[in-house]
Amino acid sequence: MSGRARKRLAWPRTLFARLMVILLVGLVLAQSLSYSLVMMERKNVADRLMLGNLERDVASSVAMLDMLPADQRAAWLERVRRDNYSYRLDAGTPGEPPRAPMARRAVDTIAEALQGRYPVSASAQPGGGFQVHLRLHDGNPLTIDVQPKRSLVSPWLLAMLAAQLALLVACAWLAVRVVTRPLSQLASAAENLGPDLKAQRVPETGPTEVAHAAAAFNAMQARIAGYLDERVQILAAISHDLQTPITRMRLRVDLMEASPTQQKLYQDLREMEHLVREGVAYARTLQGGTETPARIDPDALLDSLAGDYLDAGHTIAIEGQAGAPLLTRPQALRRILTNLIDNALKFGAEVTLAVARQDDGWLQIAVQDRGPGIPEAELERVMQPYYRVETSRNRGTGGTGLGLAIAQQLTQALGGTLQLANREGGGLQATLRLPA
């Protein structure tokens, strides 16, 4: 696995996840630091308490045991015993002097409390404890066995820290959610902004920065829609203004004597009219249609298209069935299929419509032909307006270069996808997928 892949796996990709990771790590570190400080403070308090008890209690206990007869001292050992130290009437366990700072401080405290009346020595013991050895005035040994108690953690403390951490995590999740939700809405609106520019306006709420970004996005969407409206109006005006000179040219051509030149002029005029109509149609597809979606029977629509082409002398085969109604814009769908079928008939005689309902619920309609196909490098470029694979610039074979572009724009307006692919054995397949 490459370093880039490991980095991608280690670091979340979404802003929500990244903020949550940062906040969670910070909260866990803060809680751990708080816990460490509490335990350290408790240990210091316990140490100071133990040293204070040693200073006040050891002197009196040793003096009392020293005053008692030797045969009565054993009975008093339990009475002078404390939680973290006890007394033994023996020489104890020899060993190295304690090295721990706390143990040395305790030995010094005991020595100061005895005020030099007894010679004192100390030895370290396994487990962190130590012993202080001395001899009473009658010569009998006495050992003070000190076992510092470990700081015990109350169960409620851990439960309280866990509850506090859970509360902070919930608050952090809510805060991050509130901050990132407007960004998610803005990204969703940008993704849903199709050719028709009919996406809903992003709510201009939330933090100042997010509200400003939403307002800028809404203004940008409105400006783009205005630019497209202006372009369509310009094309419509050009188309309208061209009708008059084209009509005059036709009248003049009609007055000419029949000749090859007259036929060529007729052909040029028809191409001009077709080009203007296709240009306006493409501009309108960029705006999106105002057609209201309706529930239709796709199988009936395909049968109707096949019948229309049969009347024109073209046989269109249909394979498969949709099997369920489809909510879409009927005229836009008909225009898409007509453009695809016309393109297939232009280059291939055998045209088939393969219909299937996908497992994900989408409807797939594949327009297949057995023509020459399209070079792989050109499959994406033919979707661009005014781009033609035909290099002869012959309108009779190359067309205007807008048929597939219009189909692509209308497909996006319907929320679907359109893909071109060469077929095995020759030919082209245009696959239209529509959400059911």
Residue spans of the domains in the chain: they are 16-146, 191-290, 292-434
Query: 86 and 129 in contact (C-beta within 8 Å)?
Result: no
pTM: 0.50
The pLDDT of residue 93: 84
Beta strands 121-124 and 428-434 are unpaired
The pLDDT of residue 214: 81
Q: How far apart are CA 60 and CA 55, in angstroms?
A: 9
The pLDDT of residue 354: 92
The pLDDT of residue 52: 65
**Per-residue H/E/C for 118-177:** CCCEEEECHHHCEEEEEECCCCCEEEEEECCCCCCCCHHHHHHHHHHHHHHHHHHHHHHH
The pLDDT of residue 431: 92
Contacts of 194 (CB under 8 A, 6+ apart): 288, 412, 413, 415
Q: How far apart are CA 194 and CA 225, in angstroms?
A: 11
The pLDDT of residue 391: 45
Give CATH for domain 16-146. Answer: 3.30.450
If 0-12 CB within 10 Å is exposed, 13-18 middle and 19+ buried, where does residue 262 land?
A: middle
Beta strands 351-357 and 316-319 are parallel
Between 2.102.10.10, 3.90.1150.10, 3.30.565.10, 3.40.1710.10, what CATH number should domain 292-434 receive? 3.30.565.10
Q: Alpha carbon of 125 to those of 88, 95, 131, 144, 148: distances in Å? A: 15, 7, 7, 12, 11
The pLDDT of residue 393: 36
The pLDDT of residue 1: 46
Ordered mean pLDDT values, 10 residues apiece, the chain (436 residues) = 51 72 82 78 68 73 85 86 83 83 80 81 82 86 80 70 82 79 74 62 76 83 79 74 81 84 84 73 60 87 90 88 88 89 83 88 90 84 72 47 80 87 88 89
Query: 144 and 92 in contact (C-beta within 8 Å)?
Result: no
Query: 145 and 86 in contact (C-beta within 8 Å)?
Result: yes
User: Does domain 191-290 fall into CATH 3.40.50.300?
Assistant: no
